[in-house]
Amino acid sequence: MSEVQSVKYAVEDGVGVITIDNPPVNALGPGVREGIMQALANGNADPAVRSFVLIGTGRNFMAGADIRQFGGARPVSTRTSAAAIAASAKPVVAALHGYALGGGLEHALACHYRVAARNVRVGLPEVSLGIVPAGGGTQRLTRLIGPKAALEVIVSGRHVEASEALRLGILDEIVEDADLRAAAVQYALRAAEVRPLPSAQGDVLKPLPADELAALFEAARKSLSRKSRHLKAPLHALALVEAATSMSFDDGVALEQKLFEELENTDEAKALRYAFFAEREAAKIPGTSGLAQPEPVRSAAIVGGGTMGGGIAMAFADSGIEVKVLDMSQEALERGLKRIRDNYAVSVKRGSITQAQMDERLAKIRGVTDYAGIGDCDAVIEAVFERVELKQEVFAKLDEVMKPGALLLTNSSAIDIDVMAKATRRPEDVAGAHFFAPANVMKLCEVVRGSATRIQTIARTMKMARDLGKVGAVAGSCDGFAANRSRTPMMTEMMLMLEEGALPEQIDRIMVAFGYPMGPFAVNDMSGLDVSYEGRKRRAAADPEYRKLHIPDRMVEMGRRGQKTGAGWYRYAEGDRTPHPDDVVKQVIAEVANEFGIAQRTFSDDEILQRALFASVNEACRILEEGKAYRASDIDVMWLYGFGFPRHRGGLMYWADSVGTPAILAQVRQWHERYGKRWKPSALLERIAASGGRLRDAVPPQ
């Protein structure tokens, strides 16, 4: 947008009102910084102007720098336009609402005062993009609220809501008046009388004694080297907060610029920017552009109050949406509701929610034992055991009781949506809403299209997921849909490498070194080895060619189902979740290898990583070829939010591009010769390797 359009300036009762108007989020796109500086120059040269207000239109104050501009030239930096505000001879009042993030908050911090509507969310989220604030924000915020609070806010990159921002000292006032602009103008008129102006460098440093400062930064460094061992940005952010307590403002701002430039084009920053946009791309559903906005889901029902059903019910309650849990017996219902109460109680004990929030959320959850009790809900999510006949029975019942237009959703992780849809007279309203355990924590909601599902049903289910604070991504219906189907080959190869002599602890070490928070075997011990056992049995019964996984089958049959039985891939001491390698697992591997005549060998770390991930890359290409995902980046979103794939590597397909499709194809071809059919190269992989294209841009054949 041209300068005139994205920044408006008008004088009102002696106040120069500078309005940012750059939809959809008031990012600092082309012309915005220049427009702010021009307005300041005009107002400071105008004797009729006594002070300024800086405000945004639409839903937000300002969402920060335009992320799409990174890596390219930027005519004016945030540092420069923020400095112009700070240098204004007349006071500038920031009037914040919605989001004030990154460079947006940095402009507000350069103002002399900050007032805000109660819906404001402020933050410096730059570290989540692999960079650091570069508009003076680390230097001003640290001086304004003190190093301890600033360190936590800047290194975490989190959003801070109004009352906390006021308490910390980021805001001067919360405006209850519905007309933020009018209130800010009045505030600016009063500010015009105050002399001297408060420093816009926030020179009032909330000092900490030197030894406390040293301890603060030392502890933060230790924690970051553990928690963010793969990321550079958080440590650089820490260094900038430290600089604000020891360097001059100008030197601190110069250091900000230097560290920002060091990070802006790192692989980590590029991957994190890709992940940011991939998540938003996943929300775009082909064929919905001309449709009306989907109605929100204002009430929901969950059929089956087990672990998954209870977690999904909590996700609704956490989002303030009324939810009913239906179970067939009072006893089963009570068990499920108790599990929910216990989960909330643990969160209260940990301090992640207050008792009042727990009570508020529990009040949103009601238990029923009769289908008639849920008919009025906008959506119902079936979360009963993964048995086809049971699901068909449930959907036939739902078809009888649910009001017209209700979403009839299944949380199934693999059963074909059409199986449920065919049990109803309204297959167009049936879709998958596949949550990932624990459903109230994991962000991914895989929305699955049946062959008869209306696109409006998909759009409304995606909106429901977003309203639950989830990240939605759409899959077509097939065995395992897109998320689990693309991940299964990785797990299969890992299990088969065990048969050849690899060990769970070796594979876990390699995957953690790659960036996963936990190794897949440790995760499997947590979720339970029996969970996938039934699915493998179902596949073996249906497909005589199905390659059985002898070792995990044997572990389950031995009763080693993971943490819940004190032993799985690892051994656990009573009441302790620390995984300990167990010789029993080595014995099982040796027995299976002996029984099936499998030669034992050693593996390099590279082979383990490549055999695991290349198998999934190949399967993801097949999923795209079959049109079971809209785009490759949707599969990346599923891996990031469903499986904890390291975000600084962008996603499975983004990472594969960093390896190079020709190298991947050559290796897949080798394993195809050695191991047979499951390694057959996908046509899409062959096509992209030959064309030199990028996997992350791949879409189904049109």
| Active site positions, annotated | 106, 126
| 429 contacts ligand T1G (rule: CB under 6 A) | no
- Binding part of the chain for ligand T1G, among 96-104, 144-152, 198-206, 480-488 by CB under 6 A, reads 96-104
CA-to-CA separations, 399 to 299, 303, 374, 426, in angstroms, rounded: 17, 13, 12, 7
2 vs 578 by CB, closer to ligand T1G = 2
25 vs 549 by CB, closer to ligand T1G = 25
Among 16, 31, 103, 472, binds ligand T1G (CB under 6 A): 103
| 135 contacts ligand T1G (rule: CB under 6 A) | yes
Q: What sign results for the dihedral spanned by CA atoms 481, 486, 487, 490?
A: positive
Q: Which two tokens stand for residue 520?
A: 């897949």
| 160 contacts ligand T1G (rule: CB under 6 A) | no
| 580 contacts ligand T1G (rule: CB under 6 A) | no
Whole-angstrom Cα distance, residue 520 to residue 574?
22
Give the helix/strand (H/E) hosting 568.
none
CA-to-CA separations, 409 to 56, 160, 464, 638, in angstroms, rounded: 39, 34, 11, 19
217 vs 276 by CB, closer to ligand T1G = 276
Kindly state the smallest distance separating residue 292's Cβ from ligand T1G, in Å. 18
| 617 contacts ligand T1G (rule: CB under 6 A) | no
CA-to-CA separations, 181 to 52, 93, 100, 136, 327, in angstroms, rounded: 11, 11, 16, 26, 51
Q: What sign results for the dihedral spanned by CA atoms 141, 144, 146, 148?
A: negative
**Who's near 200: CB < 8 A, 6+ residues apart?**
85, 86, 87, 88, 92, 109, 110, 111, 112, 140
Q: Closest CB to ligand T1G belongs to which residue?
A: 102
Among 125, 367, 489, 681, binds ligand T1G (CB under 6 A): 125
Whole-angstrom Cα distance, residue 317 to residue 337?
13
| 63 contacts ligand T1G (rule: CB under 6 A) | yes
137 vs 202 by CB, closer to ligand T1G = 137
**Who's near 316: CB < 8 A, 6+ residues apart?**
300, 302, 322, 323, 364, 365, 468
What residues numbered 184-203 form the site for ligand T1G, per CB under 6 A?
A: none
Kindly state the smallest distance separating residue 30's Cβ from ligand T1G, in Å. 12
Pairing assessment for the beta strands 430-435 and 444-449 based on DSSP bridges: antiparallel
Kindly state the smallest distance separating residue 119's Cβ from ligand T1G, in Å. 12
397 vs 463 by CB, closer to ligand T1G = 463
Tallying the residues shown for the chain, one arrives at 702
Whole-angstrom Cα distance, residue 153 to residue 289?
38
24 vs 196 by CB, closer to ligand T1G = 24
Among 118, 227, 280, 425, binds ligand T1G (CB under 6 A): 280
Q: Which two tokens stand for residue 505?
A: 């602890």
Among 16, 130, 133, 450, binds ligand T1G (CB under 6 A): 133
What three-state secondary structure class fits 174? strand
| 109 contacts ligand T1G (rule: CB under 6 A) | no
SS3 sequence of 413-482: CCCCHHHHHCCCCCHHHEEEEEECCCCCCCCEEEEEECCCCCHHHHHHHHHHHHHCCCEEEEEECCCCCC
Pairing assessment for the beta strands 365-368 and 379-382 based on DSSP bridges: unpaired
| 129 contacts ligand T1G (rule: CB under 6 A) | yes
Kindly state the smallest distance separating residue 469's Cβ from ligand T1G, in Å. 11
134 vs 612 by CB, closer to ligand T1G = 134
Whole-angstrom Cα distance, residue 305 to residue 311?
9
123 vs 146 by CB, closer to ligand T1G = 123
| 150 contacts ligand T1G (rule: CB under 6 A) | no
Among 18, 20, 25, 312, binds ligand T1G (CB under 6 A): 25
CA-to-CA separations, 243 to 110, 140, 217, in angstroms, rounded: 18, 11, 11
Kindly state the smallest distance separating residue 238's Cβ from ligand T1G, in Å. 16
Closest to 157 (Cα-Cα) out of 131, 124, 132, 133: 124
| 126 contacts ligand T1G (rule: CB under 6 A) | yes
Q: Which amino acid is at 622?
A: R
Whole-angstrom Cα distance, residue 484 to residue 507?
20
Whole-angstrom Cα distance, residue 369 to residue 87?
67
Among 1, 3, 44, 67, binds ligand T1G (CB under 6 A): 67
Give me Rg for the CA atoms of the chain: 28
Q: How many residues bind ligand T1G (CB under 6 A)?
A: 25
Kindly state the smallest distance separating residue 205's Cβ from ligand T1G, in Å. 21
| 685 contacts ligand T1G (rule: CB under 6 A) | no
| 65 contacts ligand T1G (rule: CB under 6 A) | yes
Contact 118, 96 (CB under 8 A): no
Kindly state the smallest distance separating residue 101's Cβ from ligand T1G, in Å. 4
Among 101, 116, 160, 684, binds ligand T1G (CB under 6 A): 101
| 106 contacts ligand T1G (rule: CB under 6 A) | yes
Neighbours of 613 (CB within 10 A): 22
Kindly state the smallest distance separating residue 177's Cβ from ligand T1G, in Å. 24
Whole-angstrom Cα distance, residue 293 to residue 277?
21
Contact 96, 115 (CB under 8 A): yes
Contact 635, 486 (CB under 8 A): yes
Q: Which two tokens stand for residue 665?
A: 């194809």
275 vs 688 by CB, closer to ligand T1G = 275
- Binding part of the chain for ligand T1G, among 61-69, 309-317, 327-335, 561-569 by CB under 6 A, reads 61-69
28 vs 398 by CB, closer to ligand T1G = 28
- Binding part of the chain for ligand T1G, among 24-32, 299-307, 480-488, 649-657 by CB under 6 A, reads 24-32
Kindly state the smallest distance separating residue 634's Cβ from ligand T1G, in Å. 13
Per-residue interface string for the shown chain with ligand T1G, residues 370-409, x marking contact by CB under 6 A:
----------------------------------------
Among 22, 78, 424, 457, binds ligand T1G (CB under 6 A): 78
Kindly state the smallest distance separating residue 670's Cβ from ligand T1G, in Å. 40
- Binding part of the chain for ligand T1G, among 124-132, 360-368, 406-414, 448-456 by CB under 6 A, reads 124-132
281 vs 295 by CB, closer to ligand T1G = 281
Kindly state the smallest distance separating residue 314's Cβ from ligand T1G, in Å. 22
As beta bridge partners, residue 175 has 117
What three-state secondary structure class fits 391? helix
Per-residue interface string for the shown chain with ligand T1G, residues 502-541, x marking contact by CB under 6 A:
----------------------------------------
78 vs 245 by CB, closer to ligand T1G = 78
Instruction: Tell me which residues touch ligand T1G (CB under 6 A).
Output: 24-25, 27, 63-68, 78, 99, 101-103, 106, 125-126, 129, 131, 133-135, 137, 277, 280
